[in-house]
Structure 1
Amino acid sequence: MEELINSPEYQKILPYIYILLSGFILLLFLLIYLSILGRKTLLLIKKENRCVTPEQSWLLLLPFFHIYWNFIFMRRLVDSLNNEFYDRKEEVEENPTQMNGYFYAWSFLVLNLPLPAFIFFVTFLLTIVSIILYIAKINEYKKQLESSPRLDNSF
């Protein structure tokens, strides 16, 4: 074992292993942040307008199930935001966060396919960029929900 660790081939790939590990840790932190942000955004939406519960955002952290849940959560978050902004009578783009959500979900799906190293690396970079863009878009609508008054019909 010690011979393997001290071999020149192993020493040559060691920096790449650290870079790859750092990238996966970054992706994990971004997934955790996406779950927290999704939950906080859903809590700002009235219960009758939600198509997904805030607690279900934590399903984004389950390995393998996450590949499928990205598509479901993204679609239901879009529907929930549409319902809420329609009730508040606010104009927003049609299907808010949908384009960024699909881009992220598809890039994450492709990332989990067995691909050659170069294609995997490019897909990994696309996934990191897409999750950051998706988080930024959700955060934008979360701030809009926080700043606009709720139109409650209960007097």
Structure 2
Amino acid sequence: MEELIQNNPDLAKMLPYVIAGAIIQITLWIFFAHTVRSTLKLIQKENQCILPNQAWFLAVPFFNIYWNFEVVRRLADSLNNEFFDRKIAVEENPTRKQGYIFAVSFLVGNLPLPVFLRYLASVVNFIYLIVYWIKIAEYKKLLKAHNKHTESEVTDYNL
């Protein structure tokens, strides 16, 4: 590795930026996985199609290329089941469309394609990561609000 860096001074200049970028990306994946996990924890066990702690696999480099597709499918199914049981009217298969665009663009961005296509896929991926993350957070808030609403009904009933 040292010979490679010594023979290529441009690589030596870029290395700190590559390391910083990797650290930022993994940190972002960890926060995203935490949002998915905390959303899954609000879903009753019988409605979960994925265990909350399995969300941490989203932060594992390379494996997350595959795992994104599993999380998209299973999270949408879990939310669908939970909202059906709670009789909350939401769109069918919540978060699925945004999630699949995110997962496909992440896959394309990691394929050995021309730089322009990978760059384009990375831009789409970043945009849809934010859109997907916001959608998950909205449903998380809805589940929390519904939990507080049902808890206050139980408290009022017991008085």
User: Common fold, TM-score beyond 0.5?
Assistant: yes
Aligned residue type for 1:123: A
Counterpart amino acid of residue 123 in structure 2 = L
Q: CA deviation at 1:26?
A: 3.8
Which consecutive unaligned segments of at least 5 residues does structure 2 have?
152-159
| Length, aligned pairs only | 147
User: What is the Cα deviation at residue 63 of structure 1?
Assistant: 2.2
Fraction of identical pairs, as percent: 47
Structure 2 distance, partners of 1:30, 1:102, is: 19
Q: CA deviation at 1:122?
A: 1.6
Match of 1:53 in 2: 51
5+ residue gaps, structure 1, are none
2:120 partner amino acid: V
Q: Which has the higher contact order (CA 8 A, sep 6+)?
A: 1
The structural deviation recorded for 1:3 is 7.1
Q: Show CA shifts across 1:70-91 (max 9, x none).
A: 1111101001001111111100
Tell me the distance in 2 between the aligned counterparts of 1:74 and 1:22: 28
Please give the TM-score of this superposition, normalised by the length of structure 2.
0.80
Q: Hey, which bits of structure 1, 4+ residues long, moved more than 6 A? A: none
Cα distance in 1, alignment partners of residues 124 and 22 from structure 2: 13
C-alpha RMSD of the superposition: 2.6
Per the alignment, in what secondary structure is the counterpart of residue 99 of structure 2?
helix
Task: Quote the residue 1:116 is aligned against.
Answer: 114
Q: TM-score, normalised by structure 1?
A: 0.82
8 A Cα contact 1:104 1:130, kept in partner: yes
